[in-house]
Structure 1
Amino acid sequence: MLSKFYLLVAFLIIGNAMQAQNYKFGKVSEEEVAETEHPSDKEANAAYLYKKQYTYYDYNSNNGLSLVTKYRYRIKIYNEDGFDWATVNLTKHISGNDKEEIYGIKGFTYNLEDGKLVEEKLRKDEIFQEETSKYRESVKFTMPSLKPGSVVEFQYEKRSPFLTSLDETELQARIPTKKLDVKIEIPEFFGFVAHYNQLSSLFFPIEKNNEQYNMHAQTTKYMQTVYEISEENIPALKEEVYIDYLDNYAASIKWELQYTKFPDTPMEYFSANWDDVAKSIYDEGGFASELRKSSFFKDDLEALLQGVDKPQDKIFAIYNFVKSKVVWNDYIGFIAENGIRKAYKEGSGNTGDINLLLTAMLRYAGLNADPVLVSTKSNGIPVFPTRSGFNYVITSVDFDGQIILLDATDLNAAPGQLPERARNWQGRIIKDDGKSGWVSLLPNYSSLKRNFINIKITEDFKIKGKYTGMYSQFVAKSYRDKYKGVDEENYKQLLQEDKGDIVITDIKKENVKKVGADIKESYQFELNHGVEVIGDNIYFNPLLFLAEKENPFKADERTYPIYMDFPVNYVSVINFMVPEGYELESMPESTIVNINEDGAVFKFIINKSANFLRLESSILLNKSIYPAEDYAHLKNFFDEIVSKHSEAIVLSKIEKSDESTELTKSR
């Protein structure tokens, strides 16, 4: 009897082990391929079934010490929208003669065919390598034989000579993760501190141990710290509207090097403040030498500034000259990769080439100009002093105590306007004496979009009208960005989209190509089905296609800040004459709604004078960024707007009096 009991226990143990997930490479199961949707995230297009990272330091007699990271991924593709997760783009960093290398790329795609599991191997000729700049190379591949339902699995090893630069450890992604294993071994020679991403709402426990280690092929023994994270069922990052860069809110760990301590060598400390970081970049990044160069542009610049005396006119002239002279090659960086002289001669350069050239020219013209280190939105927000916290450079000019920010890589940006990629909290101005300081990159002024519509209802119940719009500051820049290169016919089609059954004619535009100037636009339109006739009444929404029809904020709660990009005021004014034979029966009431007094203000004012109606709706958003704590207020704020914008004006037919009827009959 007892033997049967032990036999049963053994059977159960074996059975459970057989059902347990096997995460060894190549051990993909039929059940994983057959799965049609994620069990807890039905909207997921793909999911990490397994994700593993193992980082350690390795020694060999040829190359000495290397930083090695091994990666392994198993990804489930639920539908065609998930195919992008089967395309891999790996970056190798280069500095002088030092270069990272990627080895051992191996991958398979698994599908079910006629009920059987079939695998397709990633071939070597499907792996491509290309140079993206003199500081980076890319290794790219796409897994073969992709279908909805496929499971792809691949692994590779990255060896780096940059011993003091640990890559950020990614713990969360835009797709859910079923199982995550991370192990990082750091020898006692390197004093790293782990920094969790404080913008994330997820924090995973780290198991930290110290152990003795024997270097490969060496007899030297030393202590190392081992960090391990093992987590299951990590949710995907939640997509939200009005967000700067979603990945900035993922759970992750950044590693800060505080010191190195090698045998028989004094301890060297690397903990720095932001002044140290800025000075290091200024000195080692070549800023000092680049900004002293002027001979190659001297004659051109003096000719350009002939007769230009006012500082603001010099700024504008030099800024536009650089934009016309050197085209951005789409590469970002704070280092002038080509050098400002070569970029000027060849007419092309990265952000460092162009904006350091701009800074040098402004200085030559006697203006107080300095470079500003920036982290683009996709690079995150620097949370501790580190060179990798910055990846971009712009220019600042101190004009009468006011800092004007310039980025000559953006053809549609006026002085004081930065492209969206660079409007990321704050940047670090670097002075020649090594001092530095923070400057806000967010606009502190409001842009304006003003709409005017004069409308009338025709006898056949169409709405005819004239629209006039005026767009200033960042609204004008956004217009130029959106419609750059669009011809008139396509522009007309785009203009008619989402406006109902409308015909637009006589389009006129002013100042579209005059960067920095307000744009003015007008057109005539005829709108069918813009009114509803029920009996003797006419119902219509006076805001027409200018109405806010939907609240962009759907979620019940939010953990991310709300990025509105820039402060803005949307003003719409509608003038309407009640048609002959009708009178106003009802109209919406005026109202004013605000958030925290002046954080945001919505005004809806309607006035009637005789048969003339004037409606003004204004939505003033006074901040570029609203904290997550304001989310409920913003959601309610837009609820009020949508509700008010949906209210109709009702016109009723005027009944003829008996006296007028008799008079008509007698005639």
Structure 2
Amino acid sequence: MKTLVLCVLVVIVPLISNAQEKYSEEYGKVTQHEISMTEYVPDPEAEAVVIYEIGTNYFQGDDNRGFLLHKERRTKIKVLKAAGTEYAKIEIPFYTDSRNGESVIDIEATVYNLENGKPTKTNLDPKKIFEEKIDNDLSVKKIALPDVREGSVIEFKYHIITPFFFNMGTWAFQKKIPVIHSQLIYKAIPYYEYTYIMRGTKEFHEFDSVTKNHDIHFGSLLYQEKIYTFGMKDLPAFRDEEFISAEEDYMISINFQVSKIYFASGSSQNYISTWPALCDDFLKKDNFGKYIKNSEKEGKKLLPTLNLDSKSQLDQTIEITQYVKSMYKWNDVNNKFAEDKLSDFLKSKSGNSANINLYLIGLLKAANINVNPLVLSTRNHGGVSKSHPFQQFLNYVIAQVEIDGKTYFIDATEPLRYFDELPTRCTNVEALVVKPKNEEWVITTQKEVARTSKAFKVKINPDQQTLDINIKYTLSGQDAYQFRNIYEGKDDNLVNYFKKNNNVNIEDSLITNDYKELNKPFSFSFQSSTGFEKASDKLFISPFCNLSVSENIFKQETRTLPIDLIYLRNADYTSEVEIPKGYKVEYLPKELKHDSRLMSIKYSTKVTDNKIEVTAGYFFNTNLYDAKDYARLKYSYAEIIKQFSDMIVFVKE
């Protein structure tokens, strides 16, 4: 028995730290509480919790490459539910410039589990570290941790060495799971001055700065470090994921950007600029301003072939935009700078968003259209801090055209949108007008309401217990774009869509208008048949044939952030239901008319001769709501689902 006890102690002592300690931030140690906890009391729904995440950023001299930035990170996570195993999928992105890239070193990871009441420890096998190339400049290290399951504690660390210190990167204190402690230590040296930008909070739980009384030598330099500590504790999980522009705008984080460099000679160089200076810089760059000028030269040769002379400026703009959309393909990469030379882009007929939109701007200039580039941050890239003029905040460029006092915002990356219908990634964001020595901001606006109209004609066959249905969809705005993308000129695409998403079989020819007539609504109609519920002498008929809204788009229990729907939404339904011979109406859904500052809802029925006419619809009165409106929106949408799915009941006469 004594021998057995000794063996157990040999296993436990290295793994479990002081039992009185609730959480440990010593790497390689887990506490009894960490290994045995089954829920995180402040958030019982959490699938996992970050026990700690600690980063240390510092500079170190390299005889061949000068100062290099070192970023060390170590993290411990407790997996509480099966879904929490997702947080054991560790990915470390790094840049792989062929001459001066980043290095990822010292990767370690351990998984702790309880087996029959005893703790076990499994270390990462270095063979389970994989590297994947994302593009020419970016790669990612992927770590496959062993034996991760509900109840596991995972701990890992790594070290990045980088020459790219202008943007030190973002330290995200908050996650989609709770965080008990997150801390960043930055060891500043007197040669690089940074501006840091806080998001999601006005102050840190921990902040300290102290000059380390220790001289450091590098070449002829002698300096001391100033150590900054930023920390946050007991952060809740970030769950306001739906209907926001970018999570990074609201999650607690800190971002560092170089603002000034001091040289050993005593001189210095400012890197924090002004927006007018950045506009000038954009216009001087080969892959922005000069690219536009070269495109304008190409346009002088191209435009005579497009027969534009007799057309108005607006029609010329539409024609030129359509030409670019039809001739050049977007490679799904967002950028404010062209990635290829103009000659290469024209030859390959493919490029990033800047290749396409800067070329469009050049052609419009060649046609003497009043056009300027607009640089912006796409919705998922995060908002722009206008008090911090850094190019890194901006990742996209579109065209702004002024004709007869009216402004048009144009993006040419998506051929199935009308000429001035912006992609949702560029809608309702602030954009900088790029003019010499200029700081002018505009908000990119939505062109039209996203509208779906559904019309049904329903014939009931009581004996066969089937419905013969004629269905017509008419769509505008974003709704039209979504269905044009699904359709792409192939009937089978819509057939498969309705079968998969609505369990509706299209049984007769699909009839559509020309889906490439982008200035008109997209419409299509088809025949279908389905069964219905019948009980004794009663028939239960859904007037909208299970094609009304069925799932609440507002899924959260509570909301702390504004609700951003991006675009206005409107849906209309009409249905004509024939009253079958030998039957009479026993029940009609109640009428509903609701108008508020949030939304409008309508539902009415009318019996005329041998048919029932049902009219319904809803309309969101804005695309941006306060957080306090969330509960009412959720309730109203639930009422729409309930009302629109209510059935007409027929009974035998």
Q: TM-score, normalised by structure 1?
A: 0.84
User: Which aligned pairs between 1:287-366 and structure 2 lie closer than 5 A?
Assistant: 287-294=288-295, 295-296=297-298, 298-305=300-307, 309-366=311-368
The residue number in structure 2 matching 1:126 is 129
SS in 2 for 1:220: strand
Cα deviations by residue, 1:9-67 (Å, 9 ceiling, x for unpaired) = xxxxx995664434333335687567666555555444433311112233344433333
Q: Aligned partners of 1:243 and 1:228: how far apart in 2?
A: 27
Give, in whole Å, the separation in 1 of the partners of 2:395 and 2:493. 37
Kept after mapping to 1: 8 A contact 2:57/2:72: yes
| 1:561 and 2:565 matched | no
In structure 2, the partner of 1:206 is: 206
The corresponding residue for 1:665 is: none
Q: Which moved more, 1:633-642 or 1:343-352?
A: 633-642
Structure 1's 388 and 506: CA in aligned 2 closer, same or farther, altered over 3 A? same
The 3 A distance-change label for structure 1 pair 354 and 401 is same
Counterpart position of 1:369: 371
Paired residues for 1:215-614 under 5 Å = 215-217=215-217, 220-222=222-224, 224=226, 226-231=228-233, 233-238=234-239, 240-255=241-256, 259=260, 265=266, 272-284=273-285, 286-294=287-295, 295-296=297-298, 298-305=300-307, 309-384=311-386, 385-423=389-427, 425-431=429-435, 433-460=436-463, 461-484=465-488, 488-489=491-492, 491-497=494-500, 499=502, 504-529=507-532, 531-533=533-535, 535=537, 537-596=538-597, 599-614=598-613
Q: Give the CA deviation at 1:516.
A: 4.5
CA contact (8 A) 1:543 1:574 kept: yes
Moved more, 381-390 or 259-268: 259-268
Distance 1:189 1:424, change over 3 A: farther
2:624 corresponds to 1:620:
no
Pairwise CA distance, 1:271: 5.1
Q: SS of the residue aligned with 2:184?
A: strand
Displacement, 1:592? 2.2
Task: State the 1:548 CA deviation.
Answer: 3.1
The SS at the match of 2:343 is helix
Task: Give the 3 Å change call, closer, same or farther, for CA 448–48 of structure 1 in structure 2.
Answer: same
- Is contact 2:23-2:51 (8 Å) kept? no
CA shift for structure 1 position 522? 0.7
Inter-partner Cα distance in structure 2 for 1:580 and 1:168 = 70
1:374-408 Cα offsets, whole Å, 9 max, x none, are 21222111123321111112222222222222222
Deviation at 1:550, TM superposition (A): 4.2
Matched residue SS, 2:479: helix
Call closer, same or farther: CA 1:523–1:55 in 2, change over 3 Å: same
**Take 1:455 and 1:566, find their aligned partners in 2: how far apart are those partners?**
32
Offset from partner CA, 1:362-384 (integer Å, 9 cap, x none) = 21122222221121222111123
Of residues 14-23 and 461-470 in structure 1, the stretch that sits farther from structure 2 once superposed is 14-23
Partners of 2:90 and 2:282 lie apart in 1 by 31
Number of the residue aligned with 1:10: none
- Aligned-pair CA distance for 1:293: 0.5
2: distance between equivalents of 1:318 and 1:211? 60
Aligned residue identity for 2:282: I
Question: Which residue identity is paired with 2:543?
Answer: P
Instruction: Give the conservation status (yes or no) of the 8 Å contact 2:75–2:156.
Output: yes
Structure 1 residue 155: deviation in Å? 2.1
Q: 1:26 to 1:383 in 2, by over 3 A?
A: same
> 1:65-100: CA deviations, max 9, x gaps?
333221122344556655543444434458897644
Unaligned 5+ segments in structure 1 are 1-13, 655-667
Distance, in Å, in 2 between the alignment partners of 1:353 and 1:28 is: 52
Provide, for residues 527-556 of structure 1, a one-character-per-residue CA deviation record: whole Å limited to 9, x for no partner: 212x44454x44433233233344332444
**2-structure distance, mates of 1:305, 1:104:** 63
Residue deviations 1:293-317 (CA, integer Å, cap 9, x gap):
0455654443234666232332233
Q: Is the 8 A contact 1:457 1:463 kept in 2?
A: yes
Distance 1:23 1:634, change over 3 A: same
- The aligned counterpart of 1:153 is 155
Change (3 A) 1:483 1:426: farther
Q: What aligned pairs does 1:44-55 form with structure 2 within 5 A after superposition?
A: 44-55=46-57
Cα distance in 1 for partners of 2:154, 2:17 equals: 27
Deviations along 1:78-132, one digit per CA (max 9) or x if unpaired, are: 5665554344443445889764443333334556678662424342683325362
Asked if the contact 2:197/2:255 (under 8 Å) is kept, the reply is yes
- Find out whether 1:74 has 2:76 as its counterpart: yes
Query: What TM-score results when the alignment is normalised by the length of structure 2?
Result: 0.85
Q: Percent identity?
A: 23
Deviates more, 1:99-108 or 1:63-72: 99-108
For structure 1, which segment, 397-406 or 449-458, has the greater mean C-alpha deviation from structure 2 after superposition?
397-406
Deviation at 1:610, TM superposition (A): 3.6
SS in 2 for 1:168: strand
In the TM superposition, what is the alpha-carbon distance from 1:490 to its structure 2 partner?
5.6
**Matched residue SS, 2:249:** helix
Question: Could you say what secondary structure the match of 1:640 adopts?
Answer: helix
Asked if residue 102 in structure 1 is aligned to residue 104 in structure 2, the reply is: yes
Given residue 575 of structure 1, which amino acid in structure 2 is its aligned partner?
E
Q: For residues 350 and 607 of structure 2, what CA distance do their matches in structure 1 show?
A: 59
Structure 2 Cα separation of the partners of residues 586 and 320 of structure 1: 52
Residue by residue, what CA displacement relative to the aligned partner does 1:401-420 show, whole Å, maximum 9, x if unpaired? 22222222223222122223
The Cα shift of 1:226 comes to 1.4
CA separation in 2, counterparts of 1:98 and 1:84?
Answer: 33
**In structure 1, distance between residues paired with 2:514 and 2:191:** 61
**CA distance in 2 between partners of 1:495 and 1:71 (Å):** 48
Alpha-carbon deviations, 1:180-200, whole Å to 9, x = none? 2321233455554443314x6
Point out the more displaced range, 618-627 or 241-250: 241-250
Q: Following the alignment from structure 2 to structure 1, what is the Cα–Cα distance between the partners of residues 70 and 17?
A: 38
Instruction: Provide closer, same or farther for how the CA distance between residues 500 and 261 of structure 1 changes in structure 2, counting only shifts above 3 A.
Output: closer
Rounded Cα–Cα distance in structure 2 between residues aligned with 1:504 and 1:33: 58
Query: Given that residues 540 and 647 in structure 2 are in contact (C-alpha distance below 8 angstroms), is that contact kept between their aligned partners in structure 1?
Result: yes
Kindly indicate whether residue 116 of structure 2 is the aligned counterpart of residue 117 of structure 1.
Answer: no
Answer whether contact 2:287 2:339 (CA < 8 A) is retained: no
Contact 2:89 / 2:145 at 8 angstroms: preserved in 1? Answer: no
Q: What displacement does 1:443 show?
A: 0.4
Moved more, 140-149 or 496-505: 496-505
Say whether the 8 Å CA contact 2:287–2:341 is kept in structure 1. Answer: no
Report if aligned partners of 1:107, 1:143 keep a CA contact under 8 Å in 2.
Answer: no
SS at 2:346 equivalent: helix
Q: Encode CA deviations 1:502-533: one digit per residue, 9 max, x unaligned.
A: 6643322222344444211111122212x444
Looking at structure 1, the residues matched to 215 and 99 of structure 2 have their Cα atoms a distance apart, in angstroms, of 25
Equivalent AA in structure 2 for residue 446 of structure 1: V
